[in-house]
């Protein structure tokens, strides 16, 4: 699975980083950064990544299967 990020939608709530710090982080401007940008999310963190996508209150993240 891959995750797509719409950075212009991100408001920096950080809920995704709480669910999956191994997948998401916030940059210095408070915008989400995907640690696996342009790559498949490893299976061992896919569940956490999906939870991070699900909790985004502004739908800045989505799963691309």
* The CATH number fitting domain 2-64, selected from 3.60.150.10, 3.40.30.120, 3.30.70.20, 3.40.50.1370: 3.30.70.20
Strand 24-26 relative to strand 32-34, pairing: antiparallel
Q: What is the tens place of the pLDDT at every residue in 13-47?
A: 999 999 999 999 999 999 999 999 889 999 999 99
Taking CA atoms, 3 is separated from 7, 23, 40, in Å, by 12, 10, 8
Statement: residue 65 has pLDDT above 80: no
The closest alpha carbon to 20, from 33, 38, 4, belongs to: 33
Alpha helices (runs of H) in 1-65, residue ranges in sequence order: 15-19, 43-54
3-class secondary structure, 48: helix
Domain ranges of the chain: 2-64
At residue 1 the predicted structure's pLDDT band, cuts being 50, 70 and 90, is very high
pLDDT band of 56, cuts 50, 70, 90 = very high
Band the pLDDT of 61: cuts 50, 70, 90.
very high
């Amino acid at each position: 699975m891959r995750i797509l990020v719409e950075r212009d939608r991100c408001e920096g709530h950080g809920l995704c980083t709480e669910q999956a710090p191994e997948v998401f982080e916030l940059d210095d401007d408070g915008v989400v950064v995907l640690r696996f940008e342009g790559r498949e999310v490893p299976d061992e963190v896919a569940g956490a990544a999906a939870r991070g996508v699900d909790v985004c209150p502004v739908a800045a993240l989505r799963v691309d299967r």
